[in-house]
Amino acid sequence: MRGVVLSYDSQKHEGLISGNDEKRYHFSGSSIESDPNLMRGGAAVDFESRNGEAVSIFVIVEQRDATSMSLNGIDGKSRMIAALLAIICGGFGIHKFYLGYKRAGLIMLLITLVGFFLFGIPSAIVGLIAFIEGAIYIMKSDEDFYLTYVKNRKEWF
């Protein structure tokens, strides 16, 4: 059966789906068979109904949705914004903070600031690392970027 997610609480791992039969179905996070990060209010889903609950839930990603994900990023993190931040002001770790890597961003920021007192060599190295990371972000597809840096939380390269 097809339906639309009315709500999903990722903390409690439960939600509500409105089915095409105009009934509402509660579900738990363990019933989600596709990527749970795509589960949000308004998402189209395909599911089975058992005892009034939704099970075997798959998020339907239409071509229109896939295009908007590439422009706006997946899970709120845009590959191109991260790449531009890394290339333009990456020595300060801004792209790391943007991706949610506070520790890595702080390391880059501190090395850059302290590096100014050491003839700029450490700052230049951190800037080069950020430039390389920006180039890597540009070369990855949106899906690869999402899996590598958002879902699997790979902080470096």
pLDDT at 62 over 70: no
Q: What are φ and ψ of residue 17, in 5° steps? A: -120, 140
Asked if 11 contacts 22 with a C-beta cutoff of 8 angstroms, the reply is: no
Runs of H (alpha helix) within 1-152: 63-72, 79-89, 94-99, 102-115, 121-139, 142-145
For the chain, domains (ranges, CATH) are 2-59 (2.40.50.140), 73-151 (no CATH)
Higher confidence at residue 46 or residue 34?
46
- Does this model's pTM top 0.75? no
pLDDT at 74: 47
Q: What is the pLDDT of residues 111-136, one digit of tens each?
A: 999 998 888 899 999 999 999 999 99
Give the residue-averaged pLDDT of 26-35.
Answer: 89
* Summary mean pLDDT of the chain: 85
| CB-CB contact of 57 with 33 (8 Å) | yes
